Chains A and B, each alone.
Chain A
Amino acid sequence: MRGVKESRLITLGRHALLLLFVLISVYPALNVLSISLRPGNKLRSTELSIIPENWTLDSYVQLFTEQPFLQWLGNSLLVSLAVTLLGVGLASVGGYALSRYKFVGRQTSMLAILTTQMFPATMLLLPIYVMIARLHLVNTFLGLLIFYTATALPFCLWQMKGFYDTIPFSLEEAARMDGCSRWKTFLKVTLPLAVPGLVITALFSFMTAWSEYIVAAVVLEDREMFTLPLGLKSFQATMSTQWGLYAAASMLVSIPVVVVFMLLSRYLVSGLTVGGVKE
């Protein structure tokens, strides 16, 4: 493929640089793995090997037996899945409207939606907390759900709108000639073609909820209501931090996300509409 052969030195330099970046991104994760396997509660160690000599799964066992880890996992899953369903559901129809229909204020509302993304979440913390408090939703999953969906939706809407824009309108016209109503056209033709977009949107919604800490810390109060990030942080007490538990839980929290990413990666490279029309 390459026309000009580059010098060996440049190749070496390129790889050295890449390795450096890999090291920077992988080292912290490996370090956490290492801590989680150490016996006792040691943050620092003189050992260099990733898997310590006297490694043990005690921290993991403790997590499930002595700590409400499963409870937190359930909470997190419940909230994250609800946010995903709500986010994808709303974004799939909302994005469609923004993409296909010309209505008064379309441009303005799209800009307004985008603008909300400019504010940092911490800035919205207070006003939304006040709203949630007035609605008596403090310390409820519903309060958290509203908060998360509201912050994830703008991005999801834009994402879906952009995706629908790439689906040729003539496909929908063909479906309408074939006897579909608008709604049926959406369900039978547009939505199936938007699956890659839906997957990305779902992933984003899920991640937003799964790894969020600050909002959850404000809304949730009881330890048994905690989501995983809150639960993790609770190992870090003022006087002593249970590093082993902290690290073990961190590993367990990351795994589902990594797995989901790997499973869905093929959708991240879209290409489903190829061949239907010729432009």
Chain B
Amino acid sequence: MAEIRLNNLVKRYENGFQAVKDANLEIADGEFLVLVGPSGCGKSTMLRMIAGLEEVTSGDVFVGDRRVNNLEPGDRDIAMVFQNYALYPHMTVRQNMSFGLRMRKTPKAEIEKRVADAVQILSIESLLDRRPKELSGGQRQRVAVGRAIVRQPKAFLFDEPLSNLDAKLRVQMRTELARLHQRLKTTTVYVTHDQVEAMTLGDRIVVMKDGIIQQVDSPLNIYRRPVNRFVAGFIGSPAMNFLEGEIADGIFKSGEVAYPLNQNGLSGPAILGFRPEDLTTDPSQPKILDAELEVVEQMGHETIVYFQLAAQPMVARLEGNSGSSPGDRLALGLPQGTWHLFESTGDQKRMSD
């Protein structure tokens, strides 16, 4: 186990494209860190640079106290789980899992013990003598994880490991990975584009966009205090609503919307962000808008309603079964303290506290 440090990490491809721009990151020993962002944001490239599968253009990668920039992937003492599992098709599960140890000339008894421990943790004892093609997707995933844990490496790297599983299995494997991490406490870097995985698995989340780290924080802090509009829109489902407008005399105005802000010192053009789940029909809360419902989705425990405001699609998530139907007009309130304000220009940084 070890901490991982990235100092001014840059990846530039030969065609000039910069996949990772000056990334600095410290991953604590035993931490579960999730790299999240839309495709092409550089998260996988960053992971592969830590693994050693991608050359570092400039900057440093440290695993523990060791600068590993020029070490072969196999010498970095890191294990990786690939998106497509990458199990060796010509080997049995047992051979797949022990391959890395055999390459390191680990004593035979030790290999057997570690494989036995791993299959027990993952409950795949019965699969040991099968080949990958005889396994289901979930079983292959487990073997891929098993291959990583038998190595007892300093860190685990996961590259979108659940994206090939069906929805139900994905949820199941997600909780299993969380349990595994609690048990092994190995430093983990996990790449995903799925924000639910990011929120549920990570001790901290790194949100990336266009090769730049946008925000590094705990899941809840990222949810509550996104540093810019991109992060605000990326984390949370359904995504945050945004309304462009102007602040004057402490009131945010946009078309028919006039919302009083309980925070001083804000003025000028701004974007108001509010989460669908923060909108409420509770009349005691300050009213923000009247919605004419277009689509109503009854989920049982909640109702998701879609409407338009200033020709922009908006979503609200209301508790319980609201009984509304399309065409209804609904007065929606927004409690103070739940809204976010972003600059309307440049990086659209957070303006509010």
User: Smallest distance from the beta carbon of A249 to chain B beta carbons, Å?
Assistant: 41
In the assembled complex, the Cα of A153 lies from the Cα of B31 at a distance in Å of: 53
Is A179 part of the contact surface with B, judged by Cβ < 8 Å? yes
> Which residues of B in the span 100-139 have a Cβ within 8 Å of any Cβ on A?
100, 103-104, 131-135, 137
Q: Which residues of chain B have C-beta atoms less than 8 A from A184's C-beta?
A: 103
Q: A176-B74, A179-B103, A192-B90 are in contact. Are A278 and B79 (CB under 8 A)?
A: no
Please determine whether A181 and B72 come into contact, CB atoms closer than 8 angstroms: yes
Query: How far does the alpha carbon of A177 sit from the alpha carbon of B50 in the complex, in Å?
Result: 11
Q: Is the CB of A177 within 8 A of B89?
A: no
Chain A 244-279 interface mask (CB, 8 Å, partner B; 1/0): 000000000000000000000000000011111111
Whether B103 and A275, one on each chain, are in contact in the complex, defined by CB atoms closer than 8 angstroms, is: no
Which residue, B72, B88, B100, B103, has most C-beta atoms of chain A within 10 A? B88
Determine if B100 and A275 form an interchain contact, defined as CB atoms under 8 angstroms apart.
no
B73 at the interface (CB under 8 A from A): yes
**A170 interface contact, C-beta 8 A:** yes
B149 in the interface (beta carbon within 8 A): no
Distance, CA A36 to CA B235, complexed state (A): 82
Q: Given A170-B82, A177-B80, A272 and B72 touching (CB < 8 A)?
A: no
Find residues 123-175 in chain B having any chain A CB closer than 8 Å to their own CB: 131-135, 137, 140, 147, 151, 164
Residues of B69-110 contacting chain A, CB below 8 A: 72-75, 78-80, 82-90, 99-100, 103-104
Inter-subunit contact B74/A179 (CB<8 Å): yes
* Residue B53 is within 8 A (CB to CB) of chain A in the complex: yes
Task: Select one of A170, A176, A188, A276 contacting B73, CB under 8 A.
Answer: A176
Least CB distance from B70 to A in Å reads: 15
Judge if B201 is at the interface, Cβ distance under 8 Å: no
Contacts of B86 in A (CB 8 A): 168, 170-171, 173-174, 276-277
Interface residue B216 (Cβ < 8 Å from any Cβ of A): no
- Asked if B133 contacts A276 (CB within 8 A), the reply is yes
A189 to B90, alpha carbons, bound, how many Å? 8
CA–CA, A274 to B131, complex, Å?
A: 10
Report the 6 A-B pairs with minimum CB-CB distance, sorted nearest first. A275-B133, A276-B89, A179-B74, A178-B100, A277-B84, A174-B86
A residues near B (Cβ < 8 Å) are: 168, 170-171, 173-181, 184, 188-189, 192-193, 272-279
Please name 10 pairs of A and B residues whose Cβ atoms are closer than 8 Å in the assembled complex, sorted by A. A171-B86, A171-B89, A173-B73, A173-B80, A176-B72, A181-B72, A184-B103, A276-B86, A278-B137, A278-B140
11 additional A-B pairs beyond A275-B89, A276-B132, beta carbons within 8 Å, are: A168-B84, A171-B89, A176-B73, A177-B74, A177-B80, A180-B74, A180-B103, A181-B72, A192-B90, A275-B135, A278-B85
